Structure 1
């Protein structure tokens, strides 16, 4: 599987963008609030990431309304359940990604699709072989985690293997790839917020990825790197806010 990812890193500008994202993340993760108030920062990250993922799925609400429990939208509630589950799924993800994807869909789509569809891929002949290939990529663990996460994310968006809020599942799978791969061990990067900050670009780049062309792949990979850099800046802002409230 390493042969699959290596050419992607050689696409023009991709390696530089990945390197810049790594540097931004390293700087953000040295924030002093993460030593003193790491749990509070993690809770803020989880909330903001869930709200952003739901917004990208068409369920946009003010973060403070979500925090206060005023939002009952099933997509938002599903995104919150998924965000809370990520840490507990990190060890299983590299070993049994198909099972984890099913679990993520159960959490994300409860109340949004019929119960009989929860955790079940859609009835489409192209889905099973592509999910198998994606699972093999995750298990193999080759390539830089950020590159691998971008491919996982893009492929799941293109494939939409589950009914309902499949994008929430795709973004959670990308987050799990970063966490399990050691890029974001503590799950402190709200990359979903970075995608939302560049919402039109996110949609356009995802569609470009689905074409499978070198230009399309490069557009998506560079977008994911930029979103990660933006997530590092958001982590810093959230950590600053936690310190201010302390």
Structure 2
């Protein structure tokens, strides 16, 4: 039996309690509000808000109202296109994660990337990083699902394995993991909006993850737990 590849993360100071608190925040929203108010329209609203927030983080200047009206800029349109098909990939991300990652990029880049580059890694090093990320998604681990989602998010952003839209892909896959692993089965929390609200910390901790060694990974892990709690607060079931 292979060792748990994420076991060391769970032993870092503050991580177990941070993730327990984040999961409690999500469960409280879903239990106390979500189960009574959940409709397909609520899920669609969560996905739309997430698509808008992710697009802004990627450089879009469009407002949420423009996204709703279908008059948003190209980056926002790319993000919305991902959101419309994202939940159909729930069965795939655990079984064939490389296929799911490729599909998310193909959706994001469909309007602007050469078809031959859609869903394909930029180079052999990027292909290796994608295989590593896929192995995390298929490994047996005692780490919380939230931690797995946050780690995969950071890996995809910092590896930038695709020709474009790596941030949009990373944030979409984070949401996808939360659904696939049963944290938020109806996709009601909005992690993308949390990252936008915490933008300075989000971007700083991603830089630390890329450049700061174990300390940077630790800091990102703690940041991600904070963001997941904020994602619960951003859910449309609270409005």
Q: What TM-score do you get using the length of structure 2 for normalisation?
A: 0.93
Output aligned runs, 1:37-56, within 5 Å.
37-56=38-57
CA offset at residue 49 of structure 1? 0.3
- Counterpart of 1:244 in structure 2 is none
Mapped pair 1:154 → 2:154: yes
| Unpaired stretches in structure 1, ≥5 consecutive residues | 242-246
**Structure 1 moving runs of 4+ over 3 Å:** 31-34
Task: Tell me the SS of whatever aligns to 1:92.
Answer: helix
Task: Tell me the SS of whatever aligns to 1:70.
Answer: coil
CA offset at residue 24 of structure 1? 0.5
| Unpaired stretches in structure 2, ≥5 consecutive residues | none
Aligned length: 237
CA offset at residue 102 of structure 1? 0.8
CA offset at residue 116 of structure 1? 2.5
Contact 2:109 2:165 in 1 (8 A): yes
Contact 1:75 1:109 in 2 (8 A): no
- Counterpart of 2:60 in structure 1 is 59
Output aligned runs, 1:9-88, within 5 Å.
9-32=10-33, 34-71=35-72, 73-88=73-88
Q: What is the distance in 1 between the residues matched to 2:21 and 2:88?
A: 29
Mapped pair 1:205 → 2:205: yes
- Counterpart of 1:114 in structure 2 is 114
Q: What is the distance in 2 between the residues matched to 1:209 and 1:186?
A: 30
Q: Cα 1:69–1:214, aligned 2, differ >3 Å: closer, same or farther?
A: same
CA offset at residue 212 of structure 1? 5.7
Query: What is the root-mean-square deviation in Å for CA atoms of aligned residues?
Result: 1.6
Output aligned runs, 1:128-167, within 5 Å.
128-142=127-141, 143-167=143-167
Contact 2:56 2:62 in 1 (8 A): yes
Q: What TM-score do you get using the length of structure 1 for normalisation?
A: 0.91
